[in-house]
Amino acid sequence: MLPAIPITVIGGVLFGPIRGTVYVIIGATIGASIAFLVARYMGREWVEGFIKEGRLRELDEKVEKQGWKIVAFTRLIPLFPFNFLNYAFGLTKIRFSHYVIASFIFMLPGAIAFVVFSSSIFDILKGRGSKEFVIGLILVLIVSIIPLVYKRRSRGQGAE
């Protein structure tokens, strides 16, 4: 329910790379799960009445069967706003267990990257380099280029 990046950075600064990652990923998963459940129990019934048949119903059925793949994709590509997605997935038929497991696993790379990077901020401010900073910077860059690689690959496949 809160912006993820500032909380992730604070986790890295306060708790370091290992404990920070553990706390951040657990907190992010719990927060995503709560938002999902709020949407599921407050809005799913309305959605079912709204999409009785047609393309939206077909999409809903596909999400029920392969929803974890959609969750994985949206968690790995940080172009999608996580807060909105948490509620949106709650309105679909995806199984809660699939949502939680996929969210946990596929939010982990970004959480690790930003926590490791931010855990070295005070060292950098003091003029000291650290291996955590270099590793974190590399990981943040990798996570940041995923959307570019995806766009490039999807354009290349669309031309075929």
Backbone angle region of 23, left / alpha / beta, with phi > 0 → left and psi within -120 to 50 → alpha: alpha
Range of the domain at 76: 4-158
pLDDT confidence of residue 160 = 47
pLDDT in tens, 30-62: 999 999 999 888 877 776 666 666 666 677 777
pLDDT in tens, 74-85: 888 766 788 888
Taking 60 as the threshold, does the pLDDT of residue 1 lie above it? no
Q: What is the CA radius of gyration of the chain?
A: 18
pLDDT confidence of residue 43 = 79
Provide the number of structural domains found in the chain: 1
Taking 60 as the threshold, does the pLDDT of residue 159 lie above it? no
Exposed, middle or buried, 107 (CB in 10 Å: 0-12/13-18/19+)?
buried
pLDDT in tens, 108-134: 988 888 898 888 888 777 777 777 788
pLDDT confidence of residue 26 = 96
pLDDT confidence of residue 104 = 96
Tokens linked to 132? 């955590």
- Residue 135 CA neighbour count, 13 Å, CB half: 10
Higher pLDDT, 104 or 58: 104
For the chain, give the percent of residues with pLDDT over 90. 23
For the chain, give the percent of residues with pLDDT over 70. 86
